[in-house]
């Protein structure tokens, strides 16, 4: 299997790289480099820049504004975004509900929602998980009872990322409580401004607010907002969870982090010399880089195989390996950055208690510890690493 890019692919990579370098607002890039939170406006502004270039929904069919790129070009595009570093197009619309509407939605839903997703006129969030339905998603209990031309929705979703920004939520709801678990589930699009929708923030361990609970209390939803057929939602959810096969390992993110760690470790002095010259530190860095290289080659093998799998619609089970290793490496980069920052990573002004020796540091120092804590999530969301190991055991090892 040839893992090298062709001359055309290299030319494509250069074109993407130059565009991002020229078009990405410096303020957004700085926030990304320093690990600061982006505002809603930042994410919208960048996606609209991409949309003007015709690249915000690169993964979609041309008919609906996509690029017609193959899996290698998609991979290169996402890696360049990650390494810039730039925000990726908002996943909930572009990689999740958009492809579901394209594949299973009505013509009216396509015309209504797809252009607005591409331009991020509508911010979508994902209402799948519930308090007792995460890994075992089919245990979900939120109900939607048909009443004339509407559904009446009652229940609770949780861990909903960016629900506080969202205009719409795509939900899995139970429409047939008598049917076997997976069979009675439907895929419903709900306007977040509907009467009876309440969003409550969940504060994360880093003090941030990106996830929420959503409560539905007799929320009336037009039946036209059902995607596909009633009680077939589980099939659409499986399609959604498998629709993004490339870049699940976020190799570009880790590459950019390691570049940054080296840059900072060259600046930080320990016992009179740069940390980057310290043997123990160098060994840790090297071992992480070796792991990342192995992951990149594995990722390229999966992407190269995609050349032959195009249109199959099922995820390569090897993407579970990419998710496991990719999340472990991202978490390891966050840990290594903590070591670079050292005591300055103490976030809450501990200096006051020990004679004021530790003042707040520079921005990149102050975000290292929150990022370390925040990135614990990477091995949980999108199907936890334990669940991915189950998939590897079943689908690859045949256990
Ligand atoms: C930051 C963050 C953002 C999220 N955003 C969203 C979102 O926008 N929308 C949404 O719908 N959901 C979202 N989620 C939810 C996410 O998908 C779930 O957290 C995840 O599926 C795990 O479910 P759970 O939290 O209920 O844990 P549980 O399923 O209760 O699992 C608890 C532990 O048991 C392990 N476990 C469970 N079952 C098995 C098994 N069969 N074999 C081995 N181990 C097992 C798990 O790996 C885990 O370690 C988000 C989660 C996080 C952390």
Specify the ligand 1 atom closest to the Cα of 128. Answer: 11
**For ligand 1, atom 29: residue with the closest CA:** 135
Residue of 80, 210, 244, 256 marked active site: 244
Distance CA 41, CA 375 (A): 23
**For ligand 1, atom 26: residue with the closest CA:** 134
Specify the ligand 1 atom closest to the Cα of 162. Answer: 8
Could you tell which of 97, 134, 212 is best to mutate to test the pocket of ligand 1, judged by most ligand atoms within 8 Å of the CB?
A: 134
Specify the ligand 1 atom closest to the Cα of 137. Answer: 21
Burial of residue 245 (CB within 10 Å: 0-12, 13-18, 19+) is: buried
Residue appearing with tokens 């919208």: 44
Three-state DSSP at 394 gives helix
CA neighbours within 13 Å on the CB side: how many for 110?
A: 15
CA-nearest of 331, 335, 334, 341 to 267 is 341
**For ligand 1, atom 13: residue with the closest CA:** 159
At 77 the pLDDT is: 96
**For ligand 1, atom 31: residue with the closest CA:** 135
Distance CA 361, CA 341 (A): 9
At 246 the pLDDT is: 62
Distance CA 246, CA 129 (A): 23
Contact present, 307 and 71 (Cβ < 8 Å):
yes
- CA of 79 from ligand 1 middle (Å) equals 26
Distance CA 244, CA 98 (A): 12
**For ligand 1, atom 30: residue with the closest CA:** 134
Three-state DSSP at 320 gives helix
- CA of 388 from ligand 1 middle (Å) equals 11
**For ligand 1, atom 39: residue with the closest CA:** 387
At 366 the pLDDT is: 82
- CA of 383 from ligand 1 middle (Å) equals 6
Strand (E) or helix (H) holding 199: strand 197-202
- CA of 29 from ligand 1 middle (Å) equals 30
Distance CA 125, CA 130 (A): 14
Distance CA 392, CA 399 (A): 9
**For ligand 1, atom 43: residue with the closest CA:** 386
What phi, psi does 189 have (nearest 5°)?
Answer: -100, 120
At 347 the pLDDT is: 55
Is 244 one of the catalytic residues? yes
Could you tell which of 124, 131, 155, 159 is best to mutate to test the pocket of ligand 1, judged by most ligand atoms within 8 Å of the CB?
A: 159
Residue appearing with tokens 């992407």: 303
Contact present, 378 and 313 (Cβ < 8 Å):
no
Q: What is the pTM of this model?
A: 0.93
**For ligand 1, atom 25: residue with the closest CA:** 134
At 316 the pLDDT is: 74
Three-state DSSP at 349 gives coil
Residue appearing with tokens 């189950």: 390
- CA of 241 from ligand 1 middle (Å) equals 14
Encoded tokens for 104: 């299973």
Encoded tokens for 185: 């589930």
Encoded tokens for 244: 């993004």
Three-state DSSP at 187 gives strand
What is the per-residue DSSP string for 209-259? --EEEEEEEEEEEEGGGEESSTT-HHHHHHHHHHS--TTTT-HHHHHHHHH
Specify the ligand 1 atom closest to the Cα of 157. Answer: 11
Specify the ligand 1 atom closest to the Cα of 136. Answer: 29
Residues near 147 by beta carbon (within 8 Å), at least 6 away in sequence: 220
Neighbours of 106 (CB within 10 A): 14
- CA of 231 from ligand 1 middle (Å) equals 23
* Nearest-5° Cα angle at 163, 159 to 164: 125
Per-residue pLDDT of the chain (399 residues; tens, 9 = 90+): 667 889 999 999 999 999 999 999 999 999 999 888 999 999 999 999 999 999 999 999 999 999 999 888 999 999 999 999 999 999 999 999 999 999 999 999 999 999 999 999 999 999 999 999 999 999 999 999 999 999 999 999 999 999 999 999 999 999 999 999 899 999 999 999 999 999 999 999 988 999 999 999 999 999 999 999 999 999 999 898 876 656 779 999 999 999 999 999 999 988 899 999 999 999 999 999 999 999 999 988 888 776 665 545 566 778 889 999 999 999 999 999 999 988 777 655 444 444 444 445 677 788 899 999 999 999 999 889 999 999 999 988 988
Encoded tokens for 181: 């678990």
- CA of 132 from ligand 1 middle (Å) equals 10
Domains and CATH numbers, the chain: 7-89 (1.10.540.10), 124-232 (2.40.110.10), 245-396 (1.20.140.10)
Residues flanking ligand 1, CB < 6 Å: 125-129, 134-135, 159-161, 211, 377, 380-381, 384, 386-387, 390
Phi-psi region of 63 (alpha: psi -120 to 50; beta: other; left: phi over 0): alpha
- CA of 248 from ligand 1 middle (Å) equals 17
Encoded tokens for 134: 């995460």
């Amino acid at each position: 299997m040839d893992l090298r890019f062709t001359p055309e692919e290299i030319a494509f990579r250069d074109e993407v790289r130059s565009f991002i370098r020229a078009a990405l607002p410096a303020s957004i890039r700085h926030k990304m480099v320093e690990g600061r939170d982006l505002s809603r406006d930042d994410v919208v502004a960048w996606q609209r820049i991409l949309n003007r270039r015709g690249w915000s929904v690169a993964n979609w069919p041309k008919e609906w504004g996509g690029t017609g790129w193959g899996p290698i070009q998609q991979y290169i595009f996402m890696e360049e975004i990650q390494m810039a570093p730039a925000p990726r197009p908002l996943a909930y619309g572009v990689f999740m509900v958009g492809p579901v509407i394209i594949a299973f939605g009505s013509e009216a839903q396509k015309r209504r929602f797809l252009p607005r997703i591409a331009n991020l006129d509508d911010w979508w969030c994902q209402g799948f998980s519930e308090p007792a339905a995460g890994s075992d998603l089919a245990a979900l209990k939120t109900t939607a009872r048909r009443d004339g031309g509407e559904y009446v929705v009652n229940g609770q979703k949780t861990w909903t990322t960016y629900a506080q920004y969202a205009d719409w939520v795509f939900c899995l709801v139970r429409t047939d409580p008598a049917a076997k678990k997976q069979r009675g589930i439907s895929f419903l699009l709900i306007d977040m401004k509907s009467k009876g929708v309440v969003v409550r923030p969940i504060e994360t361990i880093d003090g941030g607010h990106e996830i929420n609970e959503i409560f539905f209390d007799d929320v009336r939803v037009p039946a036209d907002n059902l995607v596909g057929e009633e009680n077939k939602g589980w099939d659409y959810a499986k399609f959604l969870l498998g629709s993004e096969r490339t870049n699940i390992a976020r190799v570009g993110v880790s590459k950019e982090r390691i570049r940054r760690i080296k840059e900072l470790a060259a600046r930080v002095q320990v016992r009179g010399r740069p940390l980057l010259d310290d043997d123990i530190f160098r060994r840790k860095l090297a071992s992480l880089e070796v792991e990342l290289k192995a992951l990149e080659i594995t990722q390229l093998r999966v992407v190269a195989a995609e050349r032959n799998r195009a249109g199959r619609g099922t995820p390569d089970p090897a993407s579970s390996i990419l998710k496991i290793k990719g999340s472990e490496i991202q978490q390891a980069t966050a840990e290594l950055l903590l070591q670079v920052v050292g005591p300055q990573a103490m976030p809450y002004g501990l200096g006051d208690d020990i004679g004021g020796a530790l003042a707040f540091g520079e921005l990149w120092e102050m975000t290292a510890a929150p990022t370390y804590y925040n990135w614990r999530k990477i091995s949980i969301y999108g199907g936890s690493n334990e669940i991915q190991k189950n998939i590897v055991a079943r689908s690859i090892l045949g256990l």
